[in-house]
């Protein structure tokens, strides 16, 4: 039996909140192929809407409920959030439907008392929405944190790093819908032919702004069920991530070492740029993630990738001086992905950043030994944190005088205003570039 969209949204959110599951994985686990596209869209909208606005929803509940947040059962709290999200953010859904459907959920997952509680709180909010939504704007830190539902410590950190106006724009954009990007597999098809084929299936498509091989899909539902996906004509990859291979720009026949490779999006792109000629050594820590690299390579028709397990933080003497190019796509805080995985902002703590910088520094110090003289080292992250990005690279260059940053402005279109490319690095931001938040630096080993 196909479950209702709100029941599915509840189960997914409960999985995320109670098990620290990732939203994309939990959605995939809970959604069956029998669900119709309209219902699936509603499930996704509610799940991502609640995750994006979690702190704001808590704030509204705390103002509308006589019971403190900490005393509300986790399941009932989720039901309230599902209801309030619809009341506040989804104008097309009648208030009566938002309330009644939430009460139905409370009947399944609560008891007589909680049913009345859910009904009372939601009806209270629906009668006086503006009153409960109001936030004091005088305390700008608290206002931005609550309004855009970002942890206070993170907003405070960003205001100190980037300023208040920048931070508010960033937080606002982090709560917006990010369109799905795909990278065309030019080993099998050209960009325009694939665009025409997918448009023939009813997909609305634009070309990427910065990366040659990227298409942006406006309505991606069921995209991976197409014949084009099965045949390996494309892979899902954000434009910012695809710039890594484009900026590396490896020669055919090269040896490339990708130290933190899974699921293999960057490795397969590098193979594509090399026309499937040469060798790519793809390392990852987990065995099950090695299979992801192998499966992607197989579907895309790439046979130059050798995937193997290994710990990038530990020096591997068998890799010394082996590579013409080394990619360190480092483990990071992931704050550049908040649009796609809004739960990231709740999973991270400030002290994690310091721990991650130790890991990143360790991996970079190993990576330099694997590179031949004259070779290229790419360092990338999917975060916007300076300590993990430009500060990390500057410290590495300071400690390793045989490395220098390399100009790559001729390799990227549409970012001419980014002067930093002349100096060998770029930082992308969601609210400025409409990509994931991403950092890429290109260095050469001179001796």
Positions annotated as catalytic residues are 382
Percent of residues in the chain assigned helix, strand, coil, to nearest 5:
55, 15, 30
Q: How far apart are CA 207 and CA 191, in angstroms?
A: 9
Question: How far apart are alpha carbons 64 and 99 in whole angstroms?
Answer: 14
Identify any residues that bridge with 214 across adjacent strands, giving them in sequence order: 183
Of 367, 403, 375, nearest to 251 by C-alpha is: 375
Contact criterion met (CB below 8 Å) for 110 and 75: yes
Strand pairing class (279-284; 305-309): parallel
Residue 232 backbone class (left: φ over 0; alpha: ψ -120 to 50; beta: rest): left
In contact, 324 and 250? CB cutoff 8 Å:
yes
Q: Which long-range contacts (CB under 8 A, 24 or more apart) does 127-133 make?
A: 129/87, 129/88, 132/60, 132/63, 132/64, 133/60, 133/88
The candidate with the shortest Cα–Cα distance to 30, out of 60, 49, 9, is: 9
First to last CA, the chain: 65
SS (H, E, C) 160-210: HHHCHHHHHHHHHHHCCCCCEEEEECCCCCCHHHHHHHHHHCCCCEEECCC
Instruction: Mention every residue, 6+ apart, whose C-beta is less than 8 A from residue 224.
Output: 236
């Amino acid at each position: 039996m196909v479950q209702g969209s709100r029941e599915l949204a509840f189960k997914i959110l409960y999985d995320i909140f109670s098990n620290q599951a990732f939203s994309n994985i939990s959605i995939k686990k809970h959604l069956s192929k029998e669900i119709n596209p309209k219902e699936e869209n509603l499930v996704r909208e509610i799940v991502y809407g609640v995750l994006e606005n979690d702190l704001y929803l808590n704030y509204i509940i705390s103002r509308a409920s006589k019971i403190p947040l900490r005393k509300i059962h986790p399941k009932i709290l989720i039901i309230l959030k599902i209801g309030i999200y619809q009341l506040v953010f989804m104008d097309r859904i009648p208030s009566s439907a938002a309330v009644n459907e939430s009460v139905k959920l409370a009947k399944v997952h609560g008891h007589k008392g909680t049913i009345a509680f859910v009904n009372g709180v939601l009806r209270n909010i629906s009668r006086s929405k503006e009153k409960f939504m109001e936030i004091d704007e005088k305390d700008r830190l608290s206002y931005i944190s609550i309004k855009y539902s970002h942890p206070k410590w993170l907003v405070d950190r960003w205001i100190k790093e980037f300023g208040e106006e920048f931070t508010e724009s960033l937080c606002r954009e982090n709560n917006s819908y990010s369109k799905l990007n795909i990278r065309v597999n030019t080993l099998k098809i050209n960009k325009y032919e694939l665009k025409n084929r997918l448009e023939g299936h009813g997909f609305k498509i634009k070309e990427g702004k910065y990366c040659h091989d990227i298409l942006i899909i406006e309505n991606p539902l069921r995209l991976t069920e197409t014949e084009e996906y099965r045949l390996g004509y494309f892979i899902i990859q954000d434009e910012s991530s695809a710039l890594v291979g484009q900026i590396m720009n490896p020669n055919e026949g090269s040896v490339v070492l990708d130290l933190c490779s899974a699921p293999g999006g960057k490795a397969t792109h590098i193979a594509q740029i090399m026309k499937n000629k040469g060798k790519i050594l793809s390392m990852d820590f987990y065995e099950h993630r090695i299979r992801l690299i192998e499966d992607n390579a197989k579907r895309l028709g790439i046979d130059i990738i050798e995937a193997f397990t290994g710990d990038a933080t530990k020096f591997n003497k068998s890799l010394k001086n082996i590579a013409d190019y080394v990619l360190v796509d480092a483990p990071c805080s992931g704050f550049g992905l908040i649009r796609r995985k809004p739960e990231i902002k709740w999973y991270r703590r400030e002290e994690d950043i310091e721990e991650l910088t130790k890991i990143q520094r360790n991996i970079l110090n190993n990576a330099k030994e694997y590179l031949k003289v004259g070779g290229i080292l790419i360092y990338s992250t999917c975060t916007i944190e300076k300590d993990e990005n430009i500060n990390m690279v500057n410290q590495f260059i300071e400690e390793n005088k045989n490395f220098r940053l390399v100009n790559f402005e001729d390799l990227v279109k549409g970012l001419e205003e980014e002067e930093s490319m002349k100096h060998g690095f770029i930082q992308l931001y969601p609210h400025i570039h409409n990509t994931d938040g991403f950092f890429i630096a290109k260095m050469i080993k001179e001796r």
